Structure formats: C-alpha cells, structure tokens
Amino acid sequence: MSTPKPLDIEVRELLGARKGEWLSIAKHSGVSYSWLSKFFNGHIDNPGYQTLCSLHAVLTQRSASEAKAA
C-alpha cells in the first residue's frame, strides 16, 4: 500500500501538468495567478491548507470530468 502524497506536493504536480491553464485555475479557485506562480516555484513557505484545498478541488474537478467523457 502506498502512502498518499502531501497535499502541497500533489497540488504542485497538478499545476505543473496544467501550466497553460493557470489563468482559468486562478479564476475558478479564487487564488491569484501571481500566487500560483510563486507557489509552483517554491517561493511560498506556508501556502495554507484552505488555499491548497481550493486549488485541489479545481484541479481535480476537470480531471474527473475528462475521465467521464473518455
């Protein structure tokens, strides 16, 4: 059984996979584009649990929708 990834690492990986969509992700999550860039590049030491949860919800929502459509 594998250990789940920490939320910050998972969100960073999901952001990396969707770099061209950050403006839309920022709009839907309520997080600024600047914040996304700083977080992705490791310049935010404590991103906040609620912020990461909001981003994770937006980032995984589209992935789930795409999986259903396939």
pLDDT one-digit tens code per residue, 51-69: 999 999 999 996 555 545 5
Residue 68 is predicted with a pLDDT of: 53
pTM of the model: 0.83
Interval 5-30: pLDDT, tens: 999 999 999 999 999 999 999 999 99
Query: In Å, how far are 31, 40, 44, 56 from 19, measured between CA atoms?
Result: 15, 10, 18, 15
The DSSP secondary-structure symbol of 21 reads G
Size of the chain in residues? 70
* SS3 call for 41: coil
Instruction: Select the more confidently predicted residue: 3 or 59.
Output: 59
pLDDT of residue 67: 47
Residue range 29-54: average pLDDT?
Answer: 97
Contact 12, 43 (CB under 8 A): no
